[in-house]
Homo-oligomer: A and B are copies of this chain.
Amino acid sequence: MNAPAERMMGTLLLPQPYVLFLGDVTVAGYAKTAFGLRDWAAEKCVGEIRLDGATVTTGLDEMTAAEAQARGARALLIGVANPGGVIPASWRASLVEALEAGLDLIAGMHMRLSDIPELATAAQRLGRQLIDVRVPPAQIPIANGRKRSGKRLLTVGTDCALGKKYTALALAGAFARRGLDVDFRATGQTGIMIAGGGIPMDAVISDFEAGAAEILSPDAATGHWDVVEGQGAITHPAYAGVSVGLLHGSQPDVFVVCHEPGRTEMIGTAGYELTSIEEIVELTLVLGRRTNAAIRCGGFSFNTSAMGAAEAAALMAAETLRLGMPVADPMRGGAAFDALVESCLA
């Protein structure tokens, strides 16, 4: 996967590589961001920094901020989140130490780095950046709907939080292994950290939502692919606006529907049944044709992490027959995933 050749105004661009900061974490689930970075952007991570009491590790080399800087790190990335998204007082001395070692700070927590006076003062004194990946950049334009050059794939879903980011990353990786020129385009905070840039689409002001999607995947060479991380679901009663703006602005040539077998109800809503896969396909085609008449479905990505291997394989084989297009779990890979990749590129 190539590093983005350029970033237009209006998208975030993060200083890389990172050193991953784990704080004093003792619950592996709180370090999901650090694990995501290790798994999907190992080439961007020089090591990890842990405080006394931490029991979780990414397995990367442990080091100090000064050592990370000497190994080329340009930023300390907070890879751990407490419930509540607070940056505890016990971390602050280490974060100031990183600023003093010449590193910028990157976080995507609820509490903003720049709202902590100690960090704001130190960053200003040292001329360092405090980057919050939940904050969209300024100067996002209104969408103009102009068709852009290059090819685009968007992952969509039957709901939130079921694998749109991982599917996009896996497809972008597979495209790159086939020798294609491809960029993963990130639309959420973890994706942005992995990609080293992007736009947090759910934090963009509504009027600029499609415009943000347009500048996220700019004009490109004819054979170039942008694989865009989807958000929400076009039938989610809270997030459909985000999903539709992203669909219109992305102008995808191909979309892949992400789904979690067994999920029956949409996240965060009062008894909303999950929309069927077929309905999502139909509605994505109807809405997506508005900005790209050639839009088509490339297949289906199932998150089968709660199932055994045999059960998952049987289900996906049956669903491939029923839906008439490849169904695969990118985390399991194999021939099914190859078929999905081929279908997307067909």
Nearest neighbor of A286 in chain B, beta-carbon distance: B283
* Minimum distance in angstroms from A219 CB to a CB of chain B: 14
- B290–A237 touching, CB < 8 Å: yes
- B207–A240 touching, CB < 8 Å: no
Tell me which residues across on chain B come within 8 A of A143, comparing CB atoms: 237-238, 269
Nearest neighbor of A202 in chain B, beta-carbon distance: B207
Nearest neighbor of A213 in chain B, beta-carbon distance: B241
Task: Decide yes or no whether A162 CB sits under 8 A from chain B.
Answer: no
Task: Decide yes or no whether A252 CB sits under 8 A from chain B.
Answer: no
Among B234, B242, B272, the residue within 8 A (CB) of A207 is: B242
Tell me which residues across on chain B come within 8 A of A268, comparing CB atoms: 142, 144
Tell me which residues across on chain B come within 8 A of A202, comparing CB atoms: 205-207
- B240–A244 touching, CB < 8 Å: yes
Task: Decide yes or no whether A47 CB sits under 8 A from chain B.
Answer: no
- Counting chain B CB atoms within 10 Å of each CB, the highest count among A142, A209, A238, A283 belongs to A238
- B144–A210 touching, CB < 8 Å: no
- A211–B240 touching, CB < 8 Å: no
- A206–B241 touching, CB < 8 Å: yes
Task: Decide yes or no whether A185 CB sits under 8 A from chain B.
Answer: no
- B270–A145 touching, CB < 8 Å: yes
A249 to B203, CA, bound (A): 18
- B242–A291 touching, CB < 8 Å: no
A245 to B237, CA, bound (A): 8
Query: A168-221: which residues lie under 8 A (CB-CB) from chain B?
Result: 201-207, 209-211
1/0 contact string of A142-160 vs chain B (CB within 8 Å): 1111100000000000000
Query: A244-284: which residues lie under 8 A (CB-CB) from chain B?
Result: 244-246, 248-249, 268-270, 272, 283
Size class of the contact patch on chain A: 35 or more
Task: Decide yes or no whether A315 CB sits under 8 A from chain B.
Answer: no
* Minimum distance in angstroms from A289 CB to a CB of chain B: 10
A203 to B246, CA, bound (A): 17
* Minimum distance in angstroms from A149 CB to a CB of chain B: 14
Task: Decide yes or no whether A287 CB sits under 8 A from chain B.
Answer: yes
Task: Decide yes or no whether A239 CB sits under 8 A from chain B.
Answer: yes
Tell me which residues across on chain B come within 8 A of A238, comparing CB atoms: 142-145, 207, 210-211, 248
- A203–B210 touching, CB < 8 Å: no
* Minimum distance in angstroms from A12 CB to a CB of chain B: 16
What would 13 A/B residue contacts be, using CB atoms closer than 8 Å? A142-B238, A142-B268, A143-B237, A144-B270, A145-B237, A145-B269, A145-B270, A204-B205, A210-B240, A238-B248, A240-B245, A241-B248, A286-B286
Task: Decide yes or no whether A303 CB sits under 8 A from chain B.
Answer: no
Task: Decide yes or no whether A235 CB sits under 8 A from chain B.
Answer: yes
* Minimum distance in angstroms from A264 CB to a CB of chain B: 15
Tell me which residues across on chain B come within 8 A of A237, comparing CB atoms: 143-145, 210, 248-249, 290-291
- B269–A144 touching, CB < 8 Å: yes
* Minimum distance in angstroms from A287 CB to a CB of chain B: 7
A244 to B239, CA, bound (A): 9
Tell me which residues across on chain B come within 8 A of A290, comparing CB atoms: 235, 237, 240, 272
